[in-house]
Amino acid sequence: MPEQTLRSVVDSESAFQKARQLMPGGVSSPVRAFKAVGGTPLFIREAEGCYIQDIDGNQYIDYVCSYGPMIVGHANERVVAALSKAIGRGTSFGAPTESETQLAQILVGALPGLEMVRFVNSGTEAAMSAIRLARAATGRDLVVKCIGCYHGHVDGLLVEAGSGALTLGTPSSPGIPKSITGNTLLAPFNDLEGARKLFEQHGKNIACFVVEPVAGNMGVVPPAAGYLQGLRDLCDQYGTLLLFDEVMTGFRVAWGGAQVRYGVLPDITCLGKVIGGGLPCAAYGGSRKIMELVSPAGPVYQAGTLSGNPLAMAGGIATLEVLQEGGCYEAMERRGAMLAEGLIDGAQSAGVPLALNRVGSMLTPFFTKTAHAVTNFAEATSSDTAAYATFFHAMLDNGVYLAPSQYEAMFVGTAHTDAVIEKTIKAAEKAFAAVRAAQER
Q: Which DSSP category does 55 fall into? A: T
Q: Catalytic annotation on 85?
A: no
Going by C-alpha positions, the residue among 287, 262, 283 that lies closest to residue 274 is 283
Q: Is 245 a catalytic residue?
A: yes
All residues at 6 or more sequence positions from 240 whose CB lies less than 8 Å from its CB, including other chains: 138, 140, 199, 203, 206, 207, 208, 209, 234
Helix (H, G, I), strand (E, B) or coil at 370: coil
Query: What residues contact 421, with CB distance under 8 A and at least 6 apart?
Result: 335, 338, 339, 342, 412
Which residue is catalytic, options 54, 62, 245, 384? 245
The CA R_g of the chain, rounded to the nearest whole Å, is 21
In Å, how far are 11, 197, 201, 220, 245 from 236, measured between CA atoms?
56, 15, 16, 27, 18
**CA pseudo-torsion sign 163, 249, 99, 325:** positive
Contacts (Cβ under 8 Å, ≥6 apart) of 348: 354
How would DSSP label each residue in 410-424? EE--TT--HHHHHHH
Query: Under a CB-based contact definition with an 8 Å cutoff, are residues 187 and 160 in contact?
Result: no
CA distance 339 to 358: 10
Helix (H) or strand (E) holding 392: helix 385-397
Q: Give the distance, in angstroms, between the CA of residue 87 and the centroid of all CA atoms in the same chain.
A: 27
Active-site residue, selected from the candidate residues 273, 329, 388, 401: 273
Closest CA to 379 of 364, 369, 394, 390: 369
Neighbours of 296 (CB within 10 A): 7
Count the neighbouring beta carbons within 10 Å of the beta carbon of residue 88.
Answer: 8
- 3-state DSSP call for residue 43? coil
Three-state secondary-structure class, residue 76: coil
Annotation says 273 is catalytic: yes
CB–CB of 253/360 below 8 Å? yes
Q: Out of 51, 60, 67, 150, pick the active-site residue.
A: 150
| Residues classed as catalytic | 150, 245, 273
